[in-house]
Structure 1
Amino acid sequence: MSSTSDLNPSKLGTKQHWDDVYATELTNFKEIGDEGEVWYHVSDAYFIRFGEDSVEKMADWAQDYIAKDPAPLILEVGAGNGILLFTLQEAGYNGSHILGIDYSEDAVKLARAVGAHRGDGCENVRFETCDFLKDFPAPLVDIEKVGWDLVLDKGTFDAIALGEKDVEGRSPADGYPSRIGQVVKPGGYFLITSCNFTEDELKAKFTTTGTGLRYHSRVPWPTFSFGGQSGNVYATVAFQKPS
């Protein structure tokens, strides 16, 4: 089992790495209009095609389970260049009710620039700089009372789990599930895609008394077989907080 304490720290778990990535992508966007990649990682390798596939799968799941009227409040933790949120807005969700947060300031600048360039409502999607483990995002409404209808994570938990451990050997990701539980409203959903944790591992981490979440559904990925065993490299799992 891939516990957060078993994963070795990597540069992918550092803010400096992502600051460098998005500084480059922001420059590229300003110079040639390149929106950047949908980053996703396994160890130190990037699998961009997987990132694009995860956007499609997560957006499809949202349209199956999240009504567009009344407009739901949607939050993405670690939004990067915002492509997942723009995809939802383009699918008919109200952009003014959607917020993406990232601890990299240049990621936020890039997402805002991409939204303004795309137009057609994408400019209404908000992006804010926020370290989710330290500060809750600025609310679109009184979040302390209502929370979010849908919270999204596309690789952020994976990256946090690769951060440096403290002196007691605890990963910065250990406190992440309870933070998620605090921002999902009763009746709301949390949808996560991971390549470092299996579906069963995600269930174990996010269905605890500390989160208040329950397993809801899964998004299937192609399976692989090796040595007589079969499984999935990636996992996309949805959780719901009971009303």
Structure 2
Amino acid sequence: MDVATENVDVESGNTSDPEDDNCSDNDFEPSKLGTKEYWEDAYQKELETFTDIGDVGEIWFGEESMSRVLRWMDKANIPENAAILDIGTGNGAFLVELAKHGYRNLTGIDYSSASVELARKILEAEDLTDVTVKEMDFLNCYGELKGFDVCIDKGTFDAISLNPDNSKEGKKLYLQVLKDALKDKGFFAVTSCNWTKEQLLDRFSEGFDFVQELPTPSFQFGGKTGNSVTALIFKRVH
């Protein structure tokens, strides 16, 4: 489950409310990109395409989004047996790359049944049968996910923020489940095209220490420079 860019703020380079760059309970306009129905339909189509021609579908935020997190994991000396959770795994592309990179204790979750089926088929095609993929709604599994050394999110928090039903409550639940899932001093890697660095620092200020920002492509517009994607690393602290 990942999302595409909405309205780009030239000042910051990220999507945000053009009238207020601070966090609020109404950061973005509701979008179909925040609904389960949208993603179920999208991954059902990708599943059919993979079955027909073997195309794995779109890699959200591009391959570089995976590579930059993997480079950080190398520099941070994340051990190969670390328990890693891919939140909103989509087609499982990141799980494939993590497994090929040598990581052996991998779990991917998504609330889309079609996503889970697609990810399992792709992993099977890559002969990566030891990776766990579960159909699970991250916002409704408090207490079920525990003991992870690293949690990775590439667009799922974005989608939750766009949910037309109750994004305010969803963002609170996300933080609670994330804190419960991570070990003390475990790492959280988040990639977003909707949130600025400052907004993410504010959202994850409770229970987390900021570790570093990962470099992302920049652009210039009207004499100003910004980034269309933000990638940050946090550490869980109790």
> Given residue 188 of structure 1, which amino acid in structure 2 is its aligned partner?
G
Aligned to 1:72: 82
Mapped pair 1:105 → 2:113: yes
Unmatched tracts of structure 1, length 5 or more: 40-49
Q: How many Å separate the matches in 2 of 1:138 and 1:34? A: 33
Give 1:170's aligned amino acid.
Answer: K
Match of 2:4 in 1: none
Query: Residue 161 in 1 paired to residue 161 in 2?
Result: yes
Partner of 1:131: 137
Deviation, 1:135, is: 1.1
Q: Is the CA contact (8 Å cut-off) linking 1:75 and 1:148 kept in structure 2?
A: yes
Return the match for 1:229 from 218, 224, 233: 224
Determine whether 1:56 maps to 2:67: yes
CA contact (8 A) 1:165 1:172 kept: no
* Cα 1:110/1:138, change in 2 over 3 Å: farther
Q: 1:164 touches 1:172 (CA, 8 Å); kept in 2?
A: no
Q: What SS does the corresponding residue of 1:170 show, helix, strand or coil?
A: helix
Question: 2: distance between equivalents of 1:165 and 1:19?
Answer: 17
Match of 2:193 in 1: 195
Greater relative CO, 1 or 2 (CA 8 Å, sep 6+) = 2
Check conservation: 2:141, 2:177, Cα contact below 8 A: no
**Structure 1 counterpart of 2:59:** 38
- Which residue in the other structure is 1:213 paired with? 208
1:22 partnered with 2:43? yes
State the SS of the aligned residue for 1:123: coil
| Maintained 8 Å contact 1:163/1:171 | no
Tell me by how many angstroms 1:178 deviates. Answer: 2.5
Relative to structure 1, the CA distance from residue 137 to residue 84 in structure 2 (aligned partners, 3 Å threshold; closer, same or farther) is: farther
2:180 is aligned to 182
Q: Structure 2: give runs of 5+ residues left out of the alignment.
A: 1-20
Structure 2 CA distance, aligned partners of 1:34 and 1:91?
A: 22
Letter in 2 for 1:131: D
Tell me which amino acid in the other structure corresponds to 1:241.
R
Identify which range, 104-113 or 170-179, moves more after superposition: 170-179
CA gap of 1:78–1:15, structure 2 versus 1, over 3 A, is same
CA RMSD of aligned residues (A): 1.9
Query: Which amino acid is 1:226 matched to?
Result: F
1-structure distance, mates of 2:32, 2:149 = 32
TM-score for both structures, normalised by structure 2: 0.85
Q: Which position in structure 2 is the counterpart of 1:114?
A: 122
Q: Give the match's secondary structure for 2:139.
A: coil
Q: Percent identity?
A: 37
